[in-house]
Structures are given as structure tokens and as C-alpha cells.
Amino acid sequence: MANTGLRDTGKTILNRFADTSYALEFLKPSNEAESDGKLALLPTDVSSEMERFQLWAANLGLFVVGDRSLDYRMRDHPTVKKYAGKLLSGLEEDLSRSKTK
């Protein structure tokens, strides 16, 4: 999250959700997760979480541009903005790892 804003990280997260959903639906055999004793993650689960993320982002103004955006409203609170950025970056990393497993 070096020089990227919260909005940019949020957009990357949406892309990671889409990548993960695609990987689950088209790239992995349906019984792979069950064969190694792990719970299967379904594309519908990922879609549901993506919808929840989009609702959360919309409520906070994550994707809004201008003075109503989350980035703008946090401009005077760098500690809170940095923490929010770390949380978003963590989600992005988790989603990146989930599609490669």
C-alpha cells in the first residue's frame, strides 16, 4: 500500500475476488479440496463475500471520487488511513493466495 490510495486497493480486491471465483469455477477439479481433507470453497461463497465487500465499500465511499471519498475523508487521519490500508492489503493478499492454492 506504499503510494496507492484506499480506492485503488479496493479495486484490486474486486479483481482478486473475480480471479478467485474464476479459478474455483474453471481451473480446479470439483473434488480436489475434498480429497485432501480440506473444506471446499465454492464460487458462490466467493461471490457472496464479494457482494458483502461491495456493500461495505459503497457504504463507506471507498470507490467514490472527490470530497465524499473515503480517501479524502481520512486525509487528516493518517494513522486510521494507514490501518485501513493494512486491513485492505491483508484481504488482497489472502485473496491472492487463495486462488493459487
Contact (Cβ atoms closer than 8 angstroms) between residue 88 and residue 13: yes
Spell out the residues 6+ positions from residue 52 whose beta carbon is closer than 8 angstroms to its own: none
3-state SS string for 26-93: HHCCCCHHHHCCCCCCCHHHHHHHHHHHHHHHHHHCCCCCCCCCHHHHCCCCHHHHHHHHHHHHHHHH
Digit-coded pLDDT (tens) for 11-56: 999 999 999 888 888 876 555 545 555 657 777 889 999 999 999 9
Separation CA 63–CA 70 (nearest Å): 8
pLDDT tens, 18-30?
A: 998 888 888 765 5
Extract the C-alpha cell encoding 74.
Answer: 481520512
Where are the chain's structural domains? 6-100
